Structure 1
Amino acid sequence: MCRQLLDEVEIRELLIDHIGHRCCWGSRPARTWKIHAVEDCNVYVGTLETFLEEREVVRETEPYHGGNIDGKDNSPELGLWELDLRSQFPVLFVPYKETRVKIPRSETDEKCSDCAGRGNIPCPTCNADQEPGFYKENQMFPCPACYGRGLIDHRDGSDSICTKCDGKGKLPCATCGSRGLLKCETCHGNGSLLTRKIAVVIWKTLSTRKVSATSGAASVPDEIFHRAKGVQLCNTQAYQCTPAYFADSFSLNKFSSDVIADRASVPPTARVICERHTISVVPVTRFTMRHHSQSFSFYIVGYSREVYLKDYYPARFCWGLCPCLEWLKG
């Protein structure tokens, strides 16, 4: 069994240091209460990491200003999984890496659908609801300053020429200057678009993690065991890992099988590169401290000796008022 070798001085120092990071916890119980019970409750941690490569195609479009097109005229377009990306391949089991690569010979020029290849569209202000190619020029609107009269009324009964419309009573369309047309923003007025295919390639690691803990350590959150330092009992790497085999432990064999059976699902756009399966044992010791009729328990986890104290500690003095004098004295 994996066991931590700790004397009473080390145990109390670890607990006092843990309590010292909580400003309203007093250190007296950690310093003076008797260590009543010590229980070894080691935990097994199993992981299965699946490293995969995922490829998808997206289309990019930009205005076409003329020039050469990397199309299929000379040779066929490369397939998505025919792209050679060895120069960008990451270290195995990196959490995530993404790259974008243009697919050779995938470019095409297309007529802009927004303007039907004309390079301009009807003005939405003076030619609303018109189809591309149909519009009216020189449409005017009543001047809002003189209400279309061309004159401005004054309180003394006199009139003056409206300066906003120069006395005409009408103004051209503020959006297009009454041309009836606007330059198409999609193709920048060129009428054509250049479209290409982009391969979005993602390398990532999917992880399955399981913990096998005795009842004595059941109250400790799994994430503490996952980050704790323990002893590796197995570490295998293959295209597809199979359960580990321990000649003297049926329970470990079953635990390994459970980890493998819980393998993360692989997206249909991805392929598995390889897998890695590990099982570790993490030393966990539960200590119970007692003073008269009061007691509390805490855990020391892993070779990094992380202290975990769940809820109850007898010297907590914070009811929303900080700092706490008991903590300062402790």
Structure 2
Amino acid sequence: MEKELLIGDKKCTCYGSDGLPSSRIAQDPPSHSFPFEAASAPPYELMESISAEEKEGTEDSENTSLAESSHLLPKDEHKELPPHLRDWNILFVSEQDVKEAFLQYAASKCCYRRAVAKQMEIRNLTPLNTYRYRLETFTETRETYLASELYNGGFVDSSAVATPPAPWDIVVDPPPLFTDCEMRLPIPHSYSLENCPNCKGRGAIMCQSCEGTGKKKCSACGGTGTNTLEDSNICSWCAGTGKNRCFSCRSNGWLKCYRCNGSGALLFHTELAITWKNNILEHVVDKNSGLPNYLLHEATGKEIVCDENLSVFPIVDFPELSIEDYSLACIEQHKMQFASGNIHHILMQKQTIELVPLTKAEYEWKGKLRSFYVFGKENKVYTKDYPAKFCCSIM
């Protein structure tokens, strides 16, 4: 059975379900999914131990006093704090990391002098880390529509042979999880031979140029049949008839139907369109740090929570309350959006929470205190105002 498959921006044609990438979906749920009624954040002690490992590379930096001045508290003190205060407000970068990131940023700008990044003095590093919540709902959508093709004779697989299967009764191999993909295939036993709706079974359509007469008004005499410029007063182009033959239909008055190629019949069938789509909702907690929020959406964070199951539950007991609220809202939105089991099926859901490192660096340059931001695992840099620029032009 011929099928058209679209994965990403590429199209291919395959036959049967063997030509599609295979993946287990409902049969083997991931071992790390949550069996409870709600998804919980990991214990803070575990989060603290992970963060300590990530900080190991920064402890040997030139200026350890900056790392020691971060807002880390002893483990016993964390237990006494309320949940909304037990967050990851720690430094993920050293002074050397900040300087290198700022130097690379300056080097990437053609009009920025690197002297600032080389000679500045870091005065303070303030951690402003935030969280990004993402819900991914992998759905399968099945819709049908009527399609036609030329009939060249032969067997017709109609409903008289067998009852056509329902759209969701057709078994196909899905693509890998959370991968957008499209497929189209004809439904078996849905074929029927019918008259072409374009020509009503005649195999030809009326010529619009001559309106089926095969003749057109003579352009030389305007249809009068006479010409005052000639001696005989009779138009030589139409021999006095006022009409010439129609070249579009060769005086036939009819043209071969382009849809059925003149046969007068078409082979109709029901086409099944299957669409796999990864639907994503994302939220980044805005803590009014001064960094534009859209930059945080583009940065890479450190994944601290991952919950994957056929159906996920809202996050609970997380230090940032807005993450819990947004988790509940996102899950309810996708549940309502894909509630129609006749068209949509939810195959798998995954929700993740990432800690997005964000540090505000304050530095002194020529006696003036300025600042910039270092964010993401890539140590991207953002600054509103670079103090040393020069104009450059390309000749």
Instruction: Judge same fold: TM > 0.5, yes or no.
Output: yes
Structure 2 letter corresponding to 1:214 = K
Shift of 1:5: 5.2
Structure 2 letter corresponding to 1:183 = K
Shift of 1:170: 4.1
Match of residue 90 from structure 1: 175
Same amino acid, percent of matched pairs: 26
Where does the alignment leave 5 or more consecutive residues of structure 2 unmatched?
Answer: 1-87
1:62, 1:194 within 8 Å by CA — same for their partners in 2?
yes
In the alignment, the residues of structure 2 paired with residue 225 and residue 180 of structure 1 have an alpha-carbon distance, to the nearest angstrom, of 64
Give the one of 283, 294, 301 matched to 1:229.
Answer: 301
Match of residue 188 from structure 2: 104
Alignment of 1:115-264 (within 5 A): 115-127=199-211, 140-145=215-220, 149=225, 153=229, 162=236, 170-216=243-289, 218-230=290-302, 232-246=303-317, 249=318, 251-252=319-320, 254-263=322-331, 264=333
Shift of 1:25: 1.0
In the alignment, the residues of structure 2 paired with residue 252 and residue 54 of structure 1 have an alpha-carbon distance, to the nearest angstrom, of 35
Give 1 or 2: higher strand fraction. Answer: 1
Match of residue 284 from structure 1: 358
Which structure ranks higher in relative contact order (CA pairs < 8 Å, sequence separation ≥ 6)? 1
Match of residue 164 from structure 2: 77
Shift of 1:145: 3.8
Structure 1 letter corresponding to 2:347 = I
Give 1 or 2: higher helix fraction. Answer: 2
In the alignment, the residues of structure 2 paired with residue 226 and residue 140 of structure 1 have an alpha-carbon distance, to the nearest angstrom, of 67
- Quickly say closer, same or farther: Cα 1:223–1:54, change in 2 above 3 A: farther
In the alignment, the residues of structure 2 paired with residue 106 and residue 56 of structure 1 have an alpha-carbon distance, to the nearest angstrom, of 15
Match of residue 328 from structure 1: none
Aligned residues: 301
Matched, 1:16 2:100: no
Structure 2 letter corresponding to 1:92 = L
Where does the alignment leave 5 or more consecutive residues of structure 1 unmatched?
Answer: 128-134, 324-330
Deviations 1:159-212 (A, max 9, x none): 9994x5578764222222222222222222111111111111111111111112
Tell which deviates more after alignment, 203-212 or 173-182: 173-182
Shift of 1:71: 1.0
1:107, 1:197 within 8 Å by CA — same for their partners in 2?
yes
| Cα RMSD after superposing both structures | 2.9
- Quickly say closer, same or farther: Cα 1:43–1:150, change in 2 above 3 A: same
In the alignment, the residues of structure 1 paired with residue 256 and residue 362 of structure 2 have an alpha-carbon distance, to the nearest angstrom, of 79
In the alignment, the residues of structure 2 paired with residue 316 and residue 175 of structure 1 have an alpha-carbon distance, to the nearest angstrom, of 69
Match of residue 122 from structure 2: 35
In the alignment, the residues of structure 1 paired with residue 256 and residue 273 of structure 2 have an alpha-carbon distance, to the nearest angstrom, of 32
Match of residue 327 from structure 1: none
1:288, 1:298 within 8 Å by CA — same for their partners in 2?
yes
In the alignment, the residues of structure 1 paired with residue 149 and residue 166 of structure 2 have an alpha-carbon distance, to the nearest angstrom, of 22
In the alignment, the residues of structure 1 paired with residue 254 and residue 210 of structure 2 have an alpha-carbon distance, to the nearest angstrom, of 9
- Quickly say closer, same or farther: Cα 1:145–1:5, change in 2 above 3 A: closer
1:234, 1:244 within 8 Å by CA — same for their partners in 2?
no
In the alignment, the residues of structure 1 paired with residue 286 and residue 232 of structure 2 have an alpha-carbon distance, to the nearest angstrom, of 96
Structure 2 letter corresponding to 1:228 = T
Matched, 1:302 2:386: no
In the alignment, the residues of structure 2 paired with residue 211 and residue 182 of structure 1 have an alpha-carbon distance, to the nearest angstrom, of 62
Rg (Cα) greater in structure: 1
- Quickly say closer, same or farther: Cα 1:142–1:213, change in 2 above 3 A: closer
Deviations 1:21-45 (A, max 9, x none): 1101112222223222210111111
1:225, 1:301 within 8 Å by CA — same for their partners in 2?
no
- Quickly say closer, same or farther: Cα 1:149–1:280, change in 2 above 3 A: closer
Other structure's SS at 2:197 match: coil
Alignment of 1:61-76 (within 5 A): 61-76=148-163
